[in-house]
Amino acid sequence: MQLFTCPFCGPRGESEFHFGGDAGNIRPEGDVSAEVWTDYLYFKNNSRGAARQIWMHLACREVFLMERDTVTHEVISSEALVQEQQA
């Protein structure tokens, strides 16, 4: 079982996480072409090596960005999508 790092809760077992998709796959808005829309829906980068991905930690429900290596499974970094505002 892999260990992923939630930016809020620290390292946890992979079964606590839900894959959200490739980072940067922005939802196209409005009257876009079928090609643009299906590219967003179905075409995944599936890159070899370092990949930036969106994950949710199911225990705290926070969505975050994780960079991981799809070959070595190394977790390179993980960061919150929105920085917590300083009080």
Partner 1 sequence: MSGWRVETQGWAVDRSRPVRFTFDGKSVSGFAGDSLASALLAAGVTTVGRSFKYHRPRGFWSAGAEEPNGMADILGTPHRVNVQMTVEPAQDGMVLRSINGRPSAEKDRNAFIDRFARFIPAAFYYKTFMFPDWHMFEPRIRAMAGLGALDPAAEGHLPTAQANAFCDLLVIGAGPAGLTAALKAAEAGRKVILCDDQPVAGGSLLYREALIDGVAGPDWAAAAVARLRELGAQVMLQTTAFGRYEHGLTGLAESLGQGDAPRLWRVRAAETLLASGAIERGLPFANNDRPGVMSAMAALQYLRRYGVAVGRRIIVATNNGIAYEAAQALALAGAHVTVIDPRADAPACDLPRRRDRIEAVIGRNGVEAVLLASGEKIAADAVIASGGFTPTVHLYSQAQGKLRFDEAIQGFVPERKVTGLSVIGAANGAFGLAEVLADAAAAVGAVSPKAEGPHWPFKIDAAWPAPKAKGRIWLDLQNDVTAKDVELAARENFVSVEHLKRYTTLGMANDQGKTSNLPGLALMAQLTGRSIQETGTTTYRPPFVPIPLASFAGIRGGQLMNPVRRLPLEAEHRSDGALFREYGGWLRPAWFGKGEEAEAVNREAKAARESVGLFDGSPLGKIEVIGPDAGKFLDFIYYNTMSTLKPGRCRYGFMLTEQGAVYDDGVLVRLDENRFIVSCSSSHTQGVALLLEEWRQDSFDRARVQIHDATSRYATLTVTGPKSKALLEAVGLGADLSDEALPHMALTYGAFGGEPVRITRVSFTGDRSYELSIRADRALPLWRALKETGRAFDAVLLGGEALMVLRAEKGYIVIGKDTDGRTRPMDLGVSGPFEKKRGEYLGKRSLHLPAVSDQARAYVGLESLTGEVLPCGAHAVERNGSAKRSIGFVTTSHFSPNLSRPIALGLVENGASRIGEILELHHLGKSLKARIAPVCAFDPEGKRLHA
Residue 29 buriedness (CB in 10 A; 0-12 / 13-18 / 19+): exposed
Q: Which residues from 49-78 bind partner 1, rule CB under 8 A?
A: 56, 58, 61-63, 72-75
Q: Which residues pair with 18 in a beta bridge?
A: 56
Minimum CB–partner distance for residue 63 and partner 1 (Å): 4
Minimum CB–partner distance for residue 2 and partner 1 (Å): 4
Q: Distance (Å, rounded) from C-alpha 8 to C-alpha 57?
A: 9
Tell me whether residue 72 or residue 77 sits nearer to partner 1 (CB atom). 72
Q: How many residues bind partner 1 (CB under 8 A)?
A: 25
